[in-house]
Amino acid sequence: MAIYVLVHCGWHGAWCWDKVAPLLRAAGHQVYAPTLTGLGESAHLLTPAIGLDTHIQDVVGLLEKDDLRQVILVGHSYSGIVITGAADRAPDRIRSLVYIDAVVPQDGQSLADIGPFVINALRREANKHGDGWRVPPPRERPAFLGGLYGITEEPDLSMVRSKVTAQPLKTFTQPLHMTHQEAVSAIPHTFIQTTGGADLLADAAYLYACASRTGLAHPADQDGSRRDDHRAARTGRPAAGTGLGCVDI
């Protein structure tokens, strides 16, 4: 049995793990899926003061409140920076870090540093639609361009449309400050690149490039099956599931 803490991506909430958590629990694992402050069901708490540090503390608070140890801490997209910060504050509680199409930051970086073109677009949206500090969810695109977060089919599409909420700009611009870098580096890291659609592939390729630039990621073939073989050869275990490329970093 393992203990998983699943941290959602930007504009989402714990609801985005509703199809994943039951599968892990059915396999005998413990699963926790916190909602970050100001998002999802806590959208009523949204304020300009909420930043990256707030979201990091959300995760650390859960680990401490429930005295969780040997945790597999999973972050998706934006939350790659969140789980890195949480691991820095509580490295003795973390068994491994898993980045699903997620940013893999260095000390002192914010999402603005990792993706300057992205943050410029987010600032424009905040200035236009969010009083300069609220970033509305990304706009839906035609299905052939990836729909909404790569989701193009019902009923999932309508569900996501109804649940995503605005996010404070400060969560994307506040830098990560680490004090236990060596301890975090000693924690096993895994990067998972999803291959579920054109939109996801484009985002994953960009984010994996970010991971590579940190010096943590090992190069892997772009063919998914060969990438899975690469992980199996290095870890002695096959990559779980299909449609995923997994590389230990």
Q: Are 46 and 131 in contact (CB under 8 A)?
A: no
User: What is d(CA 235, CA 232) in angstroms, rounded to the nearest whole number?
Assistant: 5
Q: Which strands sit side by side in the sheet containing 94-100, from one edge to the other? A: 30-32, 3-7, 71-76, 94-100, 189-194, 244-248
193 beta partners: 245
Name the packing angle between helices 79-89 and 52-65 (round to 10°). 50
CB–CB of 96/192 below 8 Å? Answer: no
Q: Is 77 noted as a catalytic residue in this protein?
A: yes
Given the DSSP bridges, would you call strands 167-168 and 134-135 parallel, antiparallel or unpaired? Answer: antiparallel
- Is residue 128 helix, strand or coil? helix
DSSP alpha helix (H) spans, 34-166: 52-65, 79-89, 111-114, 116-129, 156-163
Contact 86, 73 (CB under 8 A): yes
Strand partners, 3: 30, 71
Q: Choosing from 42, 77, 162, 212, which is the catalytic residue?
A: 77
Provide Rg for the chain, Cα atoms: 17
Report the SS3 class of residue 11. coil
Active site residues: 77
